Amino acid sequence: MRRLLSILLWPIKALLLIVALAALFAWVWSYPHPGSVGWTRWWISSDRADGRDLACGWMNGRIVIGRWWWTFSKDLLDEGRRQAGQHNPTWTWNYEARTRWWMDPPPGSSWGPFRQDKLDSAKPDLDQGRRILSFPAWLVALLFGCWPAGSVALLIRRRRLRRFTGIGCCNKCGYDLRATPSPGGALLPICPECGAANPASV
C-alpha cells in the first residue's frame, strides 16, 4: 500500500516541478518582457450593470494577481451599459505585452516579499473595489520545487546506496569492504576509510 501511494504521488510531484520551472522561466522572462493576461465579463440587468475583471501579470521578476469589480446603478447606469457594450457577454480573454499601473503595488502595503493593494468604494451610483497581490517568482519556484526536487535527490541517493551495497561497498563513502576479491566473500564489519558500521557484514 505504501509503495502504491508513493507511485501515485509522482504525477503530483511532476506537476509541481513543472509549475516551479515555469515560475523560474517567468522570473527571467519578466525583466525584458513585462506583460499581463486578463479575463473580463459584464452582466446587465434592468437596474444595474456589473463588471468583473481577473488578471495576472509579470514584471521585474514578480508575479501579480488582481481582481476588480464594478456595479453601476441609478444615475451611472447608462455609463455602465456603455462600458458593458464594449465587451462580449461572456468571459473575454486579453493579452497585453506592456507594463500596467496595477502591476506595481505600493511598497507601503507590503509584508515580507508580498505586496498588496486594495480598494473598497461604496457610493449610491457606483460600487467598486480591487484586490491586487504581488510576489516574487522565485518564491513560487522555491515553494513548488522543494518537495519534488528533494524526492528526486532522495531517489538518486537510495539507488546509489543500493548499488554500493550490492557490490560490497560502504554505504557512506563507497569504500570497497570486500575482504577477498571473490564474489560473495566476507565483508569488513567496519569501514577503514570513514569508520561507519557495515550492517551487510552481519
- Helix/strand/coil (H/E/C) assignment for every residue in the chain: CHHHHHHHHHHHHHHHHHHHHHHHHHHHHCCCCCEEEEEEEEEECCCEEEEEEEEEEEECCEEEEEEEEEEEEHHHHHHHHHHHCCCCCCCEEEEECCCCHHHCCCHHHEECCEEEEEEEEECCCEEEEEEEEEEEHHHHHHHHHHHHHHHHHHHHHHHHHHHHHHHCECCCCCCECECCCCCCCCECCECCCCCCECHHHC
Give the residue-averaged pLDDT of 151-172: 74
My answer on whether 33 and 114 are in the same domain is: yes
Of 140, 157, 190, which closes a domain? 140
My answer on whether 136 and 151 are in the same domain is: no
Provide the residue range defining the domain that includes 63.
Answer: 2-140
Q: Does the model's pTM come out above 0.75?
A: no
My answer on whether 30 and 119 are in the same domain is: yes
List pLDDT tens digits, range 11-57.
898 999 999 999 999 899 999 999 999 999 999 998 999 999 999 99
My answer on whether 116 and 196 are in the same domain is: no
Please give the tally of structural domains in the chain. 2
My answer on whether 190 and 105 are in the same domain is: no
My answer on whether 25 and 52 are in the same domain is: yes
Of 90, 112, 140, which closes a domain? 140
My answer on whether 76 and 111 are in the same domain is: yes
